[in-house]
Every structure is written in structure tokens, then in C-alpha cells.
Structure 1
Amino acid sequence: MRDGTSVWYSEKHKRWIFQVSFRDSSGKRRAIQRRAKTKSEAERRAIDLARSPNLKSRRNAAIDVQGLIARYVEFQKMRVRSTSLANSVHLLRLYVVPVMGNRSIEKVDSAAIEDLMSSLAQSNLRTSSINTVRAKLHALFAFAVRQGILDSNPVAKVPRYSESGGKPSQVQSPWTLEEASAALAAFRDSDLEAFLLIALSTGMRKGEILALRWSDVNFANQTLKIQRSRGERRQLGLNGDVEIKLTEGAPKTQASVRTLPMSDELAASLLQLRNHRFQLRGLATNEHIILGANGAPMSPSYLTRAFNRKLKEAGLRRIRIHDLRHTVAHLALEAGVLLEEISQGFGHSGVEITKRTYASVVQALSDRFAKKVSTILFE
């Protein structure tokens, strides 16, 4: 028998008994029992009862999408990692609840899901994110089907959003040398000056820079040691709210643990910053280099907001913080730095990753090489 229905023979009543169990609109488990003369009759009537509009209305009268999310969270708390569940809830509450949170789950059909995805595309959400929201919705309504709350999943009939719609990627064209120089000038004497200088001098990841401490800087050898990364992770609080937890630990991969040389300009700037901090309030060697306005280690979310705000104020073309890394790679390749050297400096686990990431630049350099060789040979 299907989920929520069962059939058995009762010696006491000399009849076949069929039962349909369900959760009512308050979430309580309920059951309805009836008798039949034969097993086949009991099975047929059990299915009919489970599918009846009467029972469906009793099950779902007060369940809206927001209520379904709450049930989903309670069910999944002990079954999936807290961070995974928190990410799912965050996306559902951010993109789904404002549109259909108060809508009865019985009234959510494939057309409603398609409308939601179209509205997300119109808001310039990238295609991959739209499909991630769709996947979270599919899991939510699959849960409703498994629990016997719904007969079918309305998301199942809606295909993934086409790459021709939505915004395909957040990746922006990297800064040119002129744009990078203008940014360094605009960020001078701000809380983000050291961050931007380190980012454009080394190509380090955002979390690696935020985790840098003065003990990682060797001014005698002019090197930076990368051995940890600072980030943020969503988790569910005791009341079901999504909370942001700051984390700091090992970097992305084993290859990410590395020592990088500092340019004379970067070493001089960091030395000046260290001396200023020491004169201002003393300095512990284990203190973070990048601090927020409140003097505490800067969080990734604060950094992103402050970075975007500074670009807008300076009239500079906005790119993601991670695109600073792409800027460094492009400038280095243009300057003739070997792929292997970039791979090691960036902490990639292999040069193939570097080739794959910067394939367009590598191809452009190869084309230029071929033209130069042709010029030498035939002109």
C-alpha cells in the first residue's frame, strides 16, 4: 500500500480493516479506520479515501509555504548538517517566502514555480542561483509528498532554468592595470588600504588575507606565510533563525598553505602600518592585520559591503572581491609570468586548474606568440 495507508484482517470483526493516517492542519497525527468485506475492496477504498478532497482539505487547510518550511526544518534537524540546512532555509526565506510564503501549499502549482523563477531572473539573479533555489524548493515539496501532505511535487514538472535566461555569472572582467592603480590611490588611508594592497600584490584569497596576523609576516625575509583562512558559515539557532558564525581554520587545500614573497612596496606599507598600530595602542604579534572600524578582526561580510561602498564613492568599476585575484592573474600572464609560478603563488593544487581558470588569457597569449613567431620568420 502507499504511504499513510494500511490494510489487515481483524479476527474479532471478521472483516478487513483499512486505515489512512495523516497529519491535520495543526501537525497532529490522525487516523481514519473503515471495514470492508474483502482485501481488494479494503485496498481500493483505502486509496480512494487517501485521495479524497475531504481528507486533503483536513490535512492542508492551514498549511502555507512558510509553515511547510518550519515543518521541514524540524524534520531535518537531526538528519542533515546544520550548515547545509541553514543554507537551504536561508535561500527559501530570502527568495521564496516574500513571494509565496503565505500561500496555501495546495495552491502552489508548476505555473507558480515558473513565475517565481522568472521573477528571480528579472531581478538579475544569476542562472545557477535560480536553479539552486529551484532545487531547494524541490526538496521542500518532496518532503511534503513523503509525509503524505501532498500527492505530487509541483516542482518536478518545472525544468531547470535555461542558461539563456537569468544572469549567467557574477564574474566580472578583471581590472586593467590603470583601474587597479586608480583603486590603490582611492583606497589610500582607508581601513581597506592594506587589504587591497595585499590582494593586488599577491593574488591571495579574501579569507586568507583576513586571517593574516603579524606573526605571519617576516620583514627580514620579506615573506608572508599563509596558513589559515577566515570565513563565515550559516547555522540554525535554537529558535530556528539563520545565524552567521565567523570561522577561522585551515585554508582551502593543502596546497594553499604556502609562503609568498613581498614586494618592497608591500613590505614598506605593512611595516608602516605595524609601527602606527604599535604607537597608537601597542601591538600583539598574534593580532590580525586587517581590522574593522571597531578595531576587531574584519568579517567577510563587512569587507564586501565596505569594498563596494568605496568603489561607488570613488567612481570605480565594480567587480567582486574574488575578481581581484583574476586581475592579478591576468596582469601576471600579460607580464610573462609562467603558469606554474602563478599556480604555486595562488595555492592551486595543480597547474591544470590554473590553465582551466584562465584559459581565455592563455589562448590569447598563445595567439600572440604565434603571430610574433610568424613575424620573425616571414617579415
Structure 2
Amino acid sequence: MAKRRQFGYIRKLPSGRYQASFTAPSGERQTAPETFRAKTDASRWLALVEADIARGTWIDQRSSMVTFGVYARAVLRDSAEIGPRWRETCERNIRLHLSALVDLPLRGVTPTVVREWHAEALRGKGGRTAIAQAYRFMRMVMNTAVREEMIARNPCQLPGAGLVRAAERPIATPSQIIAVMEAIFPKYRTAVLIAAWCGLRRGEIAGLRVADVDLGAGTISVRKNRIELLESTAAYDGDPKTEAGKRTVTIPPHVLPIVKMHLAEHAGAERLFVSRDGTPLRGHALYQAFRRARQKAGLNHITFHDLRHTGQTLAAQAGATLADLMLRLGHSSMVAAKRYLHVVDGRDAEIAKALSDLAAHGNAAKLPKSITMRS
């Protein structure tokens, strides 16, 4: 019969090895995951468990045996802050980039395992952005496991593994903006101008409604972001990622007549941009139209998102401060929020006018005349 100790129990098995067990804080009897060659080894293990329980750092070994794949999908299912688009991305990354880890128990995902997984992933054919996304998701899952006391510490400790250092983005000139705009279908031309001169994202453009345009004030209000899932045809209007994304942007005067013409000739009853059948414009359709237009204009190095980057750069050249840019483009951070304090009313309208001045007196002197909504 096992001899009673102050903490835990040790008994000798018929094999000659020793088994250690103890009563967990939950009141359940738990056994060590392995047997011990000597009784002193079993006693040492129990002493460590007792110390961990006293410090509040004890981890239930049974819970940490849950596999990473099962736990990751449970976290993905139950996290209210994860939207459908990011959930779809994480599910794809589990399938494509984290498959080597899904059958490992949580406690088996060690810093060494994570380092080796990351190195192997980088040697493979996967894109750097997807690998960084997969690492960020794994780190989030393991942080949750730490909070829920499934594991003692997060094994994702690789500096910079979740970051993507993108190359410097190209900047289009005003004349190149016009070249792409004139090469695209007329119903998409205003979208190109809004991206370049107002700094809206593709999803923000697709989410615009007629009511978001105030011709009298010369502004566009961003209230929604059109979100499309990659592996289905589902699309819906969602809120911008941050409160700063909800903003009102002054339209540069040289673009305002084109927006007005678009409202008269191409807008839907409710949506500013619509497809042929009158349904909300899909961002992918706009992207494909842009690709054909840039090829026609000989500007294959310019992406649609580069138009937004161009608008930010041109606004800076027009005299916008960092706080002005953060406000105009819908960026949000603690540092930027402090700088919003010195942005005065009317400053955005001044920036918009300066953008038109830049377009009119730069290398696109004939800009107002060359812009047209008709092919």
C-alpha cells in the first residue's frame, strides 16, 4: 500500500518503478505523466508540483495535452473580435502553413519547435506575408492558452517573425493617375481619382453610398468598408478596423466635378459604385478593371493600393502635417491621436485645395481639361 506523504502519494509498481500522484486544486486526483526509476525522483517531482501550486503557476498537464489544431480552431471559433475575413485567413493558414503543428499537444509546441517551424516555412514556397500572418495567429492562440492556464508561457518568442517588411511602394505622378483613369472603364474612373486624391482604400470605395457624398460641402464620408471573403462569393458591409477609419475627407476641387458627373451617370440608387446588374460593386471587379487599365497605360508597376500611397505622399508635398495625414487616411495610433489636437477646422479643405494646385501646376498642367467621364 502506498505510504501517505505530506503532499502527494508514491507507490511502487510491480515493474519496480514508482508512480507519483497528488490531489489537484480542483479536488481531482492526478498522476504524473510518467513513472520514475527511483523513489527520490518521484519525491522531487511532487516537490516541484507542490511549489508550482503554492506560487499559482501550476498547469494541469491533462489540459496541455489538447492538440494545437483543436485548440486553435476553438479559439478561432469563440473569439468575438475576429471578423469573417481574418477568420478565413487563419483557417487557410492552419491548413497551408501550420499543418505540421496541428497534431502536437500544446505543451509540445516549444520555442525550439516554433523556431524550426518558422525556418522551414521560410525555406518553402509560401509567401512571406502569409507566414507572418500564420505566426501572429499562432502567437495569439498561445497567448490565449497562457491566460487560460493551459501552458505556462508562450513559446512564440521569435523577434520580428510576425512583421512583413515591405519594399518601398512606388508613387504615381499626377499624369500617371490620369493615364490610368483614362484607360479604365468610365464607371470606374471616379474610383481611381478617389483612391489617389482622397486616400480611400478599395474596400472603403466599394462601401460608399450616394448619401456619403456631400457635393455642397465637397466631402466624402467613410462609414463602412466592403468586405469580401477570398474563398467564397460572400460580401458584406463592415465597420472600418478602427474608429479613426470612420472619417470625412474633403474632395480636392479638381476632382469634385467628376464625382458630380459620376453621380448623374453611373451611381446606383443607393450605392455610389454598382455592378452592371445594379448590385454593390465588388472590390475584385474594380481590381481587375484597374489591372487591365494599368497594362494599357504601361504602368504595370503601380498597384491599386499604390494610389492611396500616392495620395498620402502628394498630400505631404502639399503641406499636410503627420496629424493631417493620419486624419485624412484614417490611420489610428496613440501617437497620432495626440497630434490630432493641433489639427484645426478647415485644415483638410486647405489640403484638398493644395492638392488641386499641385495637380494644375505640376506635370499635369492640363489636368482639369483632360479629366473626363466619357471614353
Query: Which residue, out of 194, 199, 207, partners 1:198?
Result: 194
Contact persistence 1:211–1:248 (CA under 8 A):
no
1:44 corresponds to: 46
The one-letter amino acid of 1:195's match is: A
Query: Which residue, out of 93, 97, 100, partners 2:98?
Result: 100
Contact persistence 1:227–1:250 (CA under 8 A):
no
2:177 corresponds to: 180
1:290 corresponds to: 273
**Deviation of the 1:290 alpha carbon:** 1.4
**Deviation of the 1:206 alpha carbon:** 4.3
Query: Which residue, out of 51, 55, 69, partners 1:66?
Result: 69
Contact persistence 2:172–2:310 (CA under 8 A):
yes
Distance in structure 2 (CA, Å) of the matches to 1:116 and 1:312: 39
The alpha-carbon distance between structure 1 residues 205 and 346, as it changes in their structure 2 partners (threshold 3 A), is farther
Contact persistence 2:98–2:134 (CA under 8 A):
no
Contact persistence 1:211–1:230 (CA under 8 A):
yes
The one-letter amino acid of 1:19's match is: T
Contact persistence 1:65–1:97 (CA under 8 A):
no
2:23 corresponds to: 19
3-state SS, counterpart of residue 324 of structure 1 = helix
Listed as ranges, the matches of 1:201-240 within 5 Å are: 201-206=197-202, 209-217=205-213, 224-232=218-226
TM-score by length of 1: 0.56
CA distances 1:82-124 after superposition (whole Å, capped 9, x unpaired): 1337677445423343233364214544444234434258644
3-state SS, counterpart of residue 218 of structure 2 = strand
Structure 2 runs not aligned, ≥5 long: 1-5, 10-20, 33-41, 53-59, 331-339, 348-375
1:375 corresponds to: none
The one-letter amino acid of 2:324's match is: S
Query: Which residue, out of 79, 82, 85, partners 1:84?
Result: 82
3-state SS, counterpart of residue 195 of structure 1 = helix
**Deviation of the 1:327 alpha carbon:** 1.7
The alpha-carbon distance between structure 1 residues 207 and 88, as it changes in their structure 2 partners (threshold 3 A), is closer
Query: Which residue, out of 243, 251, 256, partners 1:260?
Result: 251
**Deviation of the 1:168 alpha carbon:** 0.9
Distance in structure 2 (CA, Å) of the matches to 1:144 and 1:255: 34
Contact persistence 2:222–2:245 (CA under 8 A):
no
Distance in structure 2 (CA, Å) of the matches to 1:105 and 1:97: 15
Contact persistence 2:312–2:329 (CA under 8 A):
no
Question: Going by fraction, where is strand more abundant, 1 or 2?
Answer: 1
The alpha-carbon distance between structure 1 residues 19 and 244, as it changes in their structure 2 partners (threshold 3 A), is farther
Listed as ranges, the matches of 1:1-379 within 5 Å are: 18-20=22-24, 31-32=29-30, 44=46, 47=49, 60=65, 63-73=66-76, 77=78, 82-84=80-82, 89-101=87-99, 103=101, 104-106=103-105, 108-118=109-119, 119-120=121-122, 123-126=126-129, 133-144=134-145, 153-156=154-157, 158-161=158-161, 167-169=164-166, 172-189=169-186, 191-206=187-202, 209-217=205-213, 224-232=218-226, 245-247=236-238, 252-253=243-244, 256-263=247-254, 266-267=256-257, 269-277=258-266, 284=269, 287-300=270-283, 303-304=286-287, 306-308=289-291, 310-311=293-294, 315-331=298-314, 337-339=318-320, 343=324, 346=328, 349=340
**Deviation of the 1:212 alpha carbon:** 3.9
Distance in structure 2 (CA, Å) of the matches to 1:254 and 1:273: 24
3-state SS, counterpart of residue 300 of structure 2 = coil
Contact persistence 1:208–1:251 (CA under 8 A):
no
Distance in structure 2 (CA, Å) of the matches to 1:202 and 1:151: 48
Distance in structure 1 (CA, Å) of the matches to 2:311 and 2:243: 19
The one-letter amino acid of 1:66's match is: G
The one-letter amino acid of 1:346's match is: R
Fraction of identical pairs, as percent:
17
Structure 1 runs not aligned, ≥5 long: 1-5, 10-16, 23-28, 35-39, 236-240, 355-379
Contact persistence 1:19–1:46 (CA under 8 A):
no
3-state SS, counterpart of residue 140 of structure 1 = helix
**Deviation of the 1:231 alpha carbon:** 0.9
Contact persistence 2:213–2:220 (CA under 8 A):
no
**Deviation of the 1:173 alpha carbon:** 1.6
3-state SS, counterpart of residue 128 of structure 2 = coil
**Deviation of the 1:186 alpha carbon:** 1.6
The one-letter amino acid of 1:187's match is: I
Distance in structure 1 (CA, Å) of the matches to 2:199 and 2:64: 56
3-state SS, counterpart of residue 191 of structure 2 = helix
**Deviation of the 1:193 alpha carbon:** 1.9
| CA RMSD after TM alignment | 5.2
